[in-house]
Amino acid sequence: MPKPRFELPANITRRGLTLAQAAELAGLSEGRFAVARAKGEYPKPTLPGGRIDRVLLEKTMDRLSGIVSAEEEQDPLAAWERKRHARQA
């Protein structure tokens, strides 16, 4: 007998995304998303099960769009991510 699938309540947004869900959120095909990830434009999976963190993906999309708020500039995680990307370049 198949295990019943757990569904989140409608008011809770899933945080760990599959690659297909992440590509859809980014507005890209799975193939284009894979190419963009390989180029380092989008984050690789960081959560268990090979899931992509929705919050990290949204922050990346904000950066790619040029949306940067004063709050994000003060965010230690954002500063760490910038330093990490600078070291990888």
In tens, the pLDDT along 41-57 reads: 999 999 999 999 999 99
Q: In this structure, are residues 54 and 16 in contact, taking their beta carbons and an 8 Å threshold?
A: yes
- Of the two residues 44 and 10, the one the predictor is more confident about is 44
**76-88 per-residue burial string, b: 16 or more CB within 10 A, e: under 16:** eebeebeeeeeee
Query: Is 7 domain-assigned?
Result: no
Number of domains in the chain: 1
Q: Check whether 68 has a pLDDT greater than 90.
A: no
Domain that holds residue 70: 16-88
Q: Check whether 59 has a pLDDT greater than 80.
A: yes
Q: State how far the Cα of 18 lies from the Cα of 53, in Å rounded to an integer.
A: 9
Look at 9-13, 23-27, 73-77 and tell me which has the smallest mean pLDDT. 73-77
Query: Is 2 domain-assigned?
Result: no
Query: Is 46 domain-assigned?
Result: yes
Q: Residue range 77-89: average pLDDT?
A: 76
Query: Is 5 domain-assigned?
Result: no
Query: Is 6 domain-assigned?
Result: no
Please tell me the pTM assigned to this model: 0.66
> Which candidate, 11, 7, 32, places its Cα nearest to that of 20?
32
